[in-house]
Chain A
Amino acid sequence: MSASLSAPEAVTAGQNQLMAAQPAAIAALQAALNAEHAAVYGYGVAGAHLTGAKQKAAARGWAAHEAARDTLSSMIIALGGQPAAAAAAYRLPFPVRGKQAAIMLAAVLEDRVAAAYLGLVALGNARLRMFGARAVQVAALRATSWRGEALAFPGLEVPVSGPVPAAQGASRPAPGPSTPGPSTSGG
């Protein structure tokens, strides 16, 4: 499937030299990758409940997160790390049975992606900082278009926690609006 939206940032070959092998950088990239894995899964769920323009937007979001996932994997490999694999299933933050919940899920996925990329902004490497900051912005823009309103502090204050890896392969949604731990890294 071709990604119709470009990744937040492309990895260039020259970037590799700039990134000295840093465990902190790898850990932050892995956290972002985990959030992207969850977003790809979640957009698949959301898209199934949407139609028309919203469904197209979900498809674009899904493709964009796939592309971002590939970008992050490449960056992790370039740093000598092993990209984290996706979980078999992710527990949704709330049951998604209709359009409104699907839209809210997409917004929450983006919130969580923004939070993960904000971890890169704390790194010493200037290019990774900027990469993270731009990705926070891209996620915040998508969240805003889903939600119809902006957040004051995207990534810093996540209104609802997003999907987290299901405990033991359980693919069913968690009953009720349960609040799983606000794990930003999903270690």
Chain B
Amino acid sequence: MGRVATRRSVLAAAASLSLAAAGCGKGIGALGTPPRLLPDVAVARDAIAGENLMISRYDAALAAVPALAGSLTPLLEQHREHLVRLQARLIEPAAGSQQDQSPSGPAPTAPPQVPASPAAAQAYLREAEQTAASTLLGKLTAASPSLAQLLASIAASEASHALLLVPNRRST
């Protein structure tokens, strides 16, 4: 009984909604304003860009010093995990104008220049990891609680990477 009434009211509401969507100006106003971007979106985008940059640096380092593959590959894999987890946080509307369609493609910038000696390449990545970690910590207070926790965890992972990027540590 109540169910029928409910269904009716739902149908009525749907009808008025479609009328509103059909065009009269007042109705559109009743639908409300489009959702504004939450601060998390900007923070997550920045963090995704940061991870993409780290991945491109590791790729460049591996190309420059293939002998470091054994020590760098596990760290690169973790950056890829960071990226996946961050991208999962970024739910953007698929419709409409997508000016930056591919957040995974740092297209316009040239590949990073990595020094060709193993020690210098490690030092380069070590500094990049430390910078990335402190950049994430700088975003912490702008993020929602759960995104802040993810950023803090990733920052701790990157600081840990820096600890491992020392010359002659477990040489293969």
Binds B, one of A35-43, A89-97, A116-124: A116-124
- In the assembled complex, which residues on chain B have CB atoms less than 8 Å from the CB atom of A150? 74-75, 78, 157, 160-161, 163-164
Residue B49 at the A interface, CB < 8 A?
no
Beta-carbon contact of B164 and A149 below 8 Å: yes
Q: How far is the CA of A151 from the CA of B74 in the complex (A)?
A: 10
**CB of B128 closer than 8 Å to a CB of A:** no
Does chain A have a CB within 8 A of B44? no
Q: A121-B149, A136-B156, A140-B160 are in contact. Are A148 and B170 (CB under 8 A)?
A: yes
Q: Which residues on A sit within 8 Å (CB–CB) of B163?
A: 141, 144-145, 150
- Name the B residues within 8 Å of A136 (CB-CB): 152-153, 155-156
Write out, one digit per residue, whether chain A residues 132-171 have a CB within 8 A of any chain B CB (1) or not (0).
Answer: 1110110111011100111111111000000000000000
| A175, B75: Cα distance in complex, Å | 35
Q: Which of B96-146 contact A (CB under 8 A)?
A: 133, 137, 140-141, 145-146
Question: Count of A-B contacts with CB under 8 A?
Answer: 91
Interface size on A, residues (CB 8 A): 29
Contact of B164 among A124, A133, A144 (CB under 8 A): A144
Q: Which A residues lie within 8 Å of B150 (CB)? A: 153, 156
A141 to B85, CA, bound (A): 21
Residues of B within 8 A of A123 (CB): 145
Q: Say yes or no for A64: interface residue by CB 8 A criterion.
A: no
* Chain B interface residues (CB < 8 Å from chain A): 74-75, 77-78, 81-82, 85, 133, 137, 140-141, 145-146, 148-150, 152-157, 159-161, 163-164, 170
